[in-house]
Every structure is written in C-alpha cells, then in structure tokens.
Amino acid sequence: MRRAPGNRGTRQHQSARAAKRPRLGVSDPVRPGVVSPMRLVPDGIARPSYAHTGEPAAKAGVAVKTESEIARMRSAGRAAAEILGELGTQVAPGVTTDELDAICHDLCIERGGYPSPLNYHGYPKSLCTSVNEVICHGIPDSRPLADGDIVNLDVTIYLDGVHGDTSATFAVGDPDPESARLVKVTRECLERGIRAVRAGGLLNEIGRAIEAHATRHGYGVVRDFVGHGIGSEFHMFPNVPHYYDPNLTVELHPGMTFTIEPMITIGTHEAVVWEDNWTAVTADLARTAQFEHTVLVTPDGVEILTATPDPG
C-alpha cells in the first residue's frame, strides 16, 4: 500500500520499545529476524521499470484503463488471488515468514510473473508479511510464526505489463478471541468499502463506509497508509484513504482500478516505522489486521479483480 501524502510515521528503533507490552494476545513484541539475500528472477520473466534500479518510472499511469488493460488486470488479479490462497494453506506455527516469501516468489515465477514488491524502492523481498502489531510492509525473515499469531500476507504480481494486488490476514494456530474478532471485523470493513464503489460516486465514500464500521466496533483506522491506483504502475493515482476525508472529492469513473486495503487496529491508529524504513507497527503495540482487493469501477457498480477463485 502507499504511504499517505504528508504522513511518514514516527521512526524509532525496535530495541527502545522492547520493554513495552501490547494490549492483547501477544507475550512479546515482534522483533526483526535475519533477512536472507534477495531472491533472483529468471531472465525470461518480464520486469517492471524498477526491477533493476529500485526506482519506479516517473510516469504516473492513467486512472481510466483501456479494455486491453482491464483484461490483463483480470488475469494478474486472478493470479495474485491464487497465490494468496496457496500461501494461506502454508501458514502454521513454526513456519518462518522467509519460507512463505520463498513460496510466493516461486509461485509468481511459475505463472510467468514478477513478484512486484521485489526491489520496489529497494524492498528486499517478494512478499510482505505483517505479524500481530505490524501494520504493513513487514519484511520476511527468520522469525517462525507462533501459535496465536495473526499474519497479513500481501501478494502482488506483475504479469503481462500490469500489477494484481491482494492481501489477507490469517490466524496461526489458535488466536485469542479478540484477535479473531479483529480479523472478522477487518474483513467486513473491506466488504463495506467495496460496496461503496459506484460510478459517479466520490472516492471518500469508501473511507466513510470503512471508518463507520470500524468505529462501531471500537476499532481504529490507520491513516498513515492508504490504498492506491494500480495498473501498469504498482502505485498511481488515486490514493484511497480508509477513513472519511470530506475534502477528497475525486469522482469515480468506469474503468478506474485501485486497491482498497483497510488496516484496522484494536488500539491507536498511530504508526511507528522501524529503522529498516519499511516495517510499520502500531504505536501502542496493539494488534492490527488488514484485507485487500484490487477493484474495477464498472458502469453499474464494482468488479473485484482479485476475488478468490471458485474451487468448484
């Protein structure tokens, strides 16, 4: 997801926070493990503009997509959903987030795609794995998942010139009831945000629907990180806040594609970013969950491009 304009989050070293305890369900804060070397992508795989340099192309992309782009985004979205589904079956106590990254990397390549996060602004991995109080951009490492954890897996694949982006939060073993409730409500927040999408509507109606549902359940909505336009570029216009902004009067038009990816918190919505410049955690170390889909605005509503494939 994109960091909201003007919101950088506080940067603070993890060790300075180790004495603090999160509110619910976690005996110790998440600590960084060992990050393995960046994985290689075969020469025959088409790459996005930043794959070699780490810096995306300056062009912003076009908000309203052509029929050809939409068709390719359906394929990329379907591939991302399939990969996320397969990864979810691998989540279990004792599995490291680096092992999940390796699986994601291989699944992208098997489909002829490039794992979009890899080397995006220097990000070192093919998957984002955000555990417990990690809001987003958790870097896969040697830390094994523990019984009672929750983990968000954020999958994006670059396939046939476009990106498909989706994520979900998975329970590891048997989480506490409040964590399970948080995951359920966060999924509902995504569903309500998607229902708010309509041609001729305003972008801020998405955030209004999400924030209203989260607030009703006593949860916070992260503001430092937002959804984003997507297509030939990983991140592009428009930004998609998950809270209500009365000044955000962008009108939705058929053919627009963007992500909706609410990050919902048990406690504060304030974020702290580790010294790795990626991992964002809640300032009070309370747990957080996230779900994400890439959507297409249609003349009569919305199409989820990263819907889970029908097993039948």
d(CA 166, CA 292): 5
Q: Which amino acid is at 169?
A: T
pLDDT digits (tens, 9 = 90+) for 27-84: 589 999 999 999 999 999 999 999 999 999 876 667 899 999 999 999 999 999 999 9
Answer whether residue 5 shows pLDDT above 80. no
Nearest CA among 286, 82, 259 for reference residue 163: 259
pLDDT of residue 57: 80
Where do the structural domains in the chain lie, given as residue ranges?
2-19+64-304
Answer whether residue 129 shows pLDDT above 70. yes
Answer whether residue 17 shows pLDDT above 80. no
Sheet holding 10-11, edge to edge: 10-11, 271-273, 280-282, 134-136
Nearest CA among 61, 238, 95 for reference residue 173: 95
Please tell me the number of Cα atoms within 13 Å of 144 on its side-chain side: 7
Answer whether residue 287 shows pLDDT above 50. yes
Which CATH number applies to 2-19+64-304: 3.30.56.10, 3.90.180.10, 3.90.230.10, 3.40.50.2000? 3.90.230.10
The pTM assigned to this predicted structure is 0.92
